[in-house]
Chain A
Amino acid sequence: MSTWAPGALAPAPAAASHGAMLLAQTRAELALVLRNGEQLLLTMIIPLGLLVGLAKVPAVTVEGRRIDFFVPGILALAIMSTAFTGQAIATGFDRQYGVLKRLGATPLPRSVLLLAKTLAVLAVELVQVVLLCTVGLALGWEPHGSFLGTVLLIALGTAAFAGLGLLLGGTLPGLTTLAVANLVWLVLLALGGVVFPLTEYGGVADLLVYLPTAALSDGLRSLLQDGSFVVRDALVLLAWAVAGLSAASRWFRWE
C-alpha cells in the first residue's frame, strides 16, 4: 500500500451531468437484472416455457387459435413479472442491504435513480417482447390491431405494475417483499386471464376484469386477436398506475 502524493486528495468536488449519471445507473440496474438467475427465470424462462407449453399442449380450452390466445396473455405476464415482481423484489432487497441509503449519500438524485430503474425495466421488456413475439410468430401467431395501441397498453401496464411494485418493495422488508411479490404473481397468473380465460370463473369475472393483469391481458388480446382497442382496459390500467405511483411516492421509504 503506497503513500499519497501531496495534493493527490485536494478537494475538487463537482457532480456529473444528469445524463451521465442516468447512463451509468441504468447500466448498473440492467447488469443486476441480467446477472440474477431468479430474475431471468421469472422474466424470460417461465413466460417462454409457458408460451411454448400452452401452445403445444391442449391443457386449457380456449376459443379460437391457441397461439393467438396465449401470446397476448403471456406478454401481459412478462410485463407483470418485470415491472411488478422483479422491481418489488429488487427494490426490497436494495433497501434491506442499505444500497438506496448509500446512493442517497452520493450526487445521484432520487429522480435520476427512479428514471434509471424505469429505463432498465423498459429495456428488459423490449427483450421480452421481441423474444416472445418471435417465438409466437414461429409457432404460427397471427397478430392484428395497431402497433401504437399495443405500445400504449404496454406502457400503461408497465406504469401500473411499476407503481405497485415500488409500493410493495418500498415499504416492506426484503424477505417479506419476496414472499408477497411471488404470491401476488401466482394469484394474478391464475386470475388475470393469462392462461385461463376469465369466462371460466363465471360471475366473478365481472370483478376480475378490474385486476391490472386482467386488464392488460384482455386489452392486448382484444387488440392483437380481434383488432379492437378496449377503452375500459386502458382506463383500468391508468387508474392502477395513478393509484400505485401516488401511493408509492407517499409511502416509499429509502431505508
Chain B
Amino acid sequence: MTSAALEVCDLVKRYGKRTAVDGLSFTAAAGQVTALLGPNGAGKTTTIEVAEGFRDPDGGAVRVLGLDPRDQAVKHRVGVMPQTGGGYPGLRAGELLRLVASFHRDPHSPADLLERLGLSEVERIPFRRLSGGQQQRLSLAMAVVGRPELVFLDEPTAGLDPQARRATWDLVHALRRDGVSVLLTTHLMDEAEQLADHVVVVDHGRLVTEGTVHALTAHGAAGQLRFTAPPGLDLDALAAALPPACRLSAVGGSYLVEGPAGPQLLADVANWCAANDVVARDLQVETRTLEDVFLDLTGRELRT
C-alpha cells in the first residue's frame, strides 16, 4: 500500500510542436484533496488525462495508486469526471447512471445519488436534453457511483449555478472525510481554498509552487498586522512596547504595524491596547489570496 494516491514525475506531453506539460512533478497524498490550479491552457487537463490513462506521456512517469494508469485494475478503483461530454444522447439520466453502476459490484444507489445531486426530477430525461449543469452533476455521480478510492474531477464546477456548486463542494468534503483521495483541476481560487488540502499551482505546463493553502498564502505576507482604533494614539509609546524592528504608521484610525507578525506581536499589540484602555477592532495579520501568490510568481492573471 502506497501513501501516494498519485505520483507525477517529470511528466512531459506534447501536441505536435506545442508542449502542454513540460517536466511537471507533484504528489497527491492518499486521503487528501489535491487541487491542480492554473489558468486555462496551463496543462491541467492534459496532466489529469494522462493520470486517467487517456493519453500516453511523451516523457516522465505517472503512477496511480502505485500502478500504471493504463492498467485495467486502476479503472476499478478510480472514478473519473471528464471536463466535457460523455453520455449517450439517447439514454435517460437515470439509465446512464444505472449503466455505469452496473459495471461495479457494490455501487452506491443510483436513485440516492440522483436525489442528493438534485437530479431526481430529470431522471427520465434523455442526456441530450439535460442542461450543461445537469450533465456535469450526472457526470460527477457517474464518477463516484462505484465507491472509488480515488476520484479525478476535471473542472467539476465550471458553469454551475451557486446551489449546484455548493452540492458539489459538499460531496468533495464528504469524500475526503470518508477517506477518498481527490484530485481536481480548477482555475477558481475560492474553490481551491475551500476544498484543497494541497494546492499545486501550474502554468505553461510547469510547477509554479505547491503547498497547503495556508502555507501558500501566509508566506511573504507575514510582515503586516493591521487594526482599527480611535485616531491619535501615541505611536511612540506603542512602538516602545513592541520589538525594535517594528515600524508603525497610521492613517486616521487605521493602524499598520510592519514587522515579524507572529503570535507574539499580536499579543504585544493587544496587551498595549489593554493597558491603555484602547479597543482595537479588526486586529488581524494580513494574508494573501492564492491569486496574489499566483500574480507574484508569474505576473499573470489566474482568471483568463
Contact = CB atoms under 8 A, between A and B. Distances in A.
Contacts of A21: 102-103
Contact of B76 (A13, A17, A24, A32): A13
Contacts of A36: 90
A127 interface: no
Interface in A1-57: 1-4, 6-17, 20-21, 23-25, 28, 31-32, 35-36
Interface string A58-99: 000000000000000000000000000000000001100111
A6 B177 contact: yes
B100 A97 contact: no
Given A14-B106, A107-B75, A4 B171 contact: yes
A91 to B, nearest CB: 12
A102 B147 contact: no
Contact of A97 (B85, B99, B139, B149): B85
A2 B90 CA distance: 29
Contacts of A28: 88, 91, 95, 99
B131 to A, nearest CB: 16
A249 B103 CA distance: 24
Interface string A120-147: 0000000000000000000000000000
Interface string B168-194: 001100110111100000000000000
A109 interface: yes
B170 A1 contact: yes
Given A7-B178, A9-B174, A99-B86, A31 B103 contact: no
A32 B77 CA distance: 28
A16 B103 contact: yes
B88 A13 contact: no
A102 B87 contact: yes
A16 B104 contact: yes
A10 B146 CA distance: 11
Contacts of A187: none
A205 to B, nearest CB: 41
A232 interface: no
B213 interface: no
A104 interface: yes
B95 A31 contact: yes
Given A94-B88, A107-B146, A15 B180 contact: no
A28 B80 CA distance: 20
A117 to B, nearest CB: 12
A183 B103 CA distance: 37
A207 interface: no
A4 B147 contact: no
Contact of B99 (A24, A93, A109): A24
A105 B82 contact: yes
A24 B103 CA distance: 8
B304 interface: no
Contacts of A15: 75-76, 103-105
Most buried by A among B85, B115, B163, B171: B85
B54 A14 contact: no
B147 A13 contact: yes
Contacts of A7: 178
B123 interface: no
Interface in A204-232: none
A8 B178 contact: yes
A252 B59 CA distance: 24
B52 interface: yes
Most buried by A among B53, B103, B108: B103
B170 A106 contact: no
A108 interface: yes
Contacts of A17: 105
B148 interface: yes
A102 B97 CA distance: 12
Given A3-B174, A9-B147, A20 B77 contact: no
Interface of B: 52-54, 72, 75-78, 80, 82, 84-91, 95, 98-100, 102-106, 108, 115-118, 139, 142, 144, 146-149, 163, 166-167, 170-171, 174-175, 177-180
Interface of A: 1-4, 6-17, 20-21, 23-25, 28, 31-32, 35-36, 93-94, 97-99, 101-102, 104-109, 255
